[in-house]
Amino acid sequence: MAKNVHHHHQHQSKNNTGTKLVLIVSFACLLGLACIVNLLWASSFSFSSSYLRFASTWVSEKPRIFVLPRAEEDPNTTDKIGDVILKRKKGSPSERFLSATFADLPAPELPWEQMPSAPVPRLDGSAIQIRNLFYVLSGYGTLDHVHSHVDVFNFTDNTWCARFDTPKDMANSHLGVASDGRYIYVVSGQYGPQCRSPTARTFVLDTQTRKWRSMPPLPAPRYAPATQLWRGRLHVMGGSKENRHTPGLEHWSIAVKDGKALEKEWRTEIPIPRGGPHRACVVVNDRLFVIGGQEGDFMAKPGSPIFKCSRRHEVVYGDVYMLDAEMKKWEVLPPLPKPNSHIECSWVVVNNSIIITGGTTEKHPVSKRMILVGEVFQFHLDSLTWSVIGKLPYRVKTTLAGFWDGYLYFTSGQRDRGPDNPQPRKVIGEMWRTKLNF
């Protein structure tokens, strides 16, 4: 187990009440947003020199209510919605209230402490914790440049202590990763910058020798698939298909031991009820959980020689699925407090609970802009309930979380434009930590 786990044996109760609601909500979303929005990602990927160095009070004490001018009265509003949505206006009858699913949830402040930044900023990277060492893999530096190395952080003395290369053929972002405490398995992911396609290639790193080896490729390429080791088998499911956008439902596994595949081919397993990338995949208490995610993602613009990213319709969801012990049935558990995606390495297991940091929620209903998440969520494995336990110093997606010596750490990802603007902006390498008190 890569993550720090305190095992408590728990009886897993069943709960299927979420299924119906999720189906209704997702159907309504599909109906309402059937058209394809084609905006350049570049605008949400720009870099800024001005950013907060310290945690600030970016969330008001009371739940924030977003008030929007009526879109039908001024269609041009949608072009500058990022500036408009956060002006709090009270009581005007010409305004309407929109669903608050994309709003910040009320959450306590946490005393965040800034640690040394990673050697490079990275977006859509991956991370695996092995005891006191945090292996941070690949990711974009900018949309036109991807990393092909690993940076290592030592939680004992809080230093970035090593750097080594990844194989030339290995994907550079949106990897599926899992570890047994020595070997790190890297499955599929996107190869190259912008919105190039995923590869099926699969590798394993021996963290003691820092040598890489290749493994049997996945039956098909997958972009940001949910990946975990469970009972001696590497499980890979969901993600997007070759075009980055179409959700994959397939689920495969292969027996592995000491960094080697024990089988020549991947075995087909029970498909996941809902496909798509950017989900947390966690094995704890001998159960496999898949949390949050989305359907759809940016695709390469047709005919673009550089595979330029262009936005496509996405549905973000808060679904939680648990694979039962016989691996025959997915159970539907209570959903996240709000839809959340881009959390594949944003989780840790602490004291019989799963902690999730940041992410992205549903697009703004009018502007269609991406809205980042700044809450810290906790899923209690004994009661199968969610709570919001705090705020990050800012909203951030695809951040990489670790837990050591009572501290929750996060580094990297893409942060917001500021306390009052939840749209993505700067790609960061910053690292922060806070002591958890429970």
Q: Which residues contact 50 (CB under 8 A, 6 or more apart)?
A: none
Does 302 bind ligand NAG (CB under 6 A)? Our answer is no
Q: What are phi and psi of 219, to 5 degrees?
A: -55, -30
Among 76, 92, 94, 209, binds ligand NAG (CB under 6 A): 76
Does 131 bind ligand NAG (CB under 6 A)? Our answer is no
**How far is C-alpha 280 from the geometric centre of its chain's CA atoms?**
6
Q: What are phi and psi of 177, to 5 degrees?
A: -130, 150
Encoding tokens for residue 310? Answer: 């262009």
CB 197 within 8 Å of CB 309 = no
Does 72 bind ligand NAG (CB under 6 A)? Our answer is no
Select from 17-25, 68-76, 332-340, 426-434 the region that touches ligand NAG (CB under 6 A). Answer: 68-76
Encoding tokens for residue 438? Answer: 């429970």
Q: Which of residues 398-427 bind ligand NAG (CB under 6 A)?
A: 406
Site string for ligand NAG, 303-342 (x = CB under 6 A): ----------------------------------------
Minimal distance, residue 79 CB to ligand NAG, in Å: 8
Residue 7 or 89 with smaller CB distance to ligand NAG: 7
- C-alpha–C-alpha distance, residues 341 and 196, integer Å: 20
Does 350 bind ligand NAG (CB under 6 A)? Our answer is yes
Residue 16 or 76 with smaller CB distance to ligand NAG: 76
Encoding tokens for residue 359? Answer: 């992410």
Q: Which of residues 229-268 bind ligand NAG (CB under 6 A)?
A: none
CB 364 within 8 Å of CB 85 = yes
Neighbour-count burial for 2-37, b at 16+ CB within 10 Å, e otherwise: bbbbeeeeeebeeeeeeeeebeebbeebeeebeeee
Minimal distance, residue 385 CB to ligand NAG, in Å: 18
- C-alpha–C-alpha distance, residues 178 and 280, integer Å: 11
Among 10, 148, 154, 243, binds ligand NAG (CB under 6 A): 154
Residue 148 or 154 with smaller CB distance to ligand NAG: 154
Minimal distance, residue 347 CB to ligand NAG, in Å: 14
| Number of chain positions touching ligand NAG (CB under 6 A) | 14
Select from 47-55, 108-116, 136-144, 149-157 the region that touches ligand NAG (CB under 6 A). Answer: 149-157
Among 74, 83, 144, 258, binds ligand NAG (CB under 6 A): 74
Place of tokens 């890979």: 236
The torsion region of residue 306 among left (phi > 0), alpha (psi -120 to 50) and beta comes to alpha
Residue 117 or 352 with smaller CB distance to ligand NAG: 352
Does 385 bind ligand NAG (CB under 6 A)? Our answer is no
Select from 88-96, 155-163, 249-257, 281-289 the region that touches ligand NAG (CB under 6 A). Answer: 155-163
Site string for ligand NAG, 19-58 (x = CB under 6 A): ----------------------------------------
Does 97 bind ligand NAG (CB under 6 A)? Our answer is no
Does 161 bind ligand NAG (CB under 6 A)? Our answer is yes
Residue 97 or 438 with smaller CB distance to ligand NAG: 438
Residue 215 or 436 with smaller CB distance to ligand NAG: 436
Does 130 bind ligand NAG (CB under 6 A)? Our answer is no
CB 222 within 8 Å of CB 239 = yes
Radius of gyration of the chain (CA): 20
Among 12, 26, 101, 351, binds ligand NAG (CB under 6 A): 351
C-alpha distance from residue 271 to each of 9, 236, 414 (Å): 27, 10, 31
Does 209 bind ligand NAG (CB under 6 A)? Our answer is no
Residue 356 or 436 with smaller CB distance to ligand NAG: 436
312 closest CA partner among 323, 300, 329, 324: 300
Minimal distance, residue 162 CB to ligand NAG, in Å: 7
Minimal distance, residue 438 CB to ligand NAG, in Å: 5
Select from 17-25, 93-101, 154-162, 276-284 the region that touches ligand NAG (CB under 6 A). Answer: 154-162
Sites of contact with ligand NAG (CB under 6 A):
6, 74-76, 133, 154, 156-157, 161, 350-351, 406, 436, 438
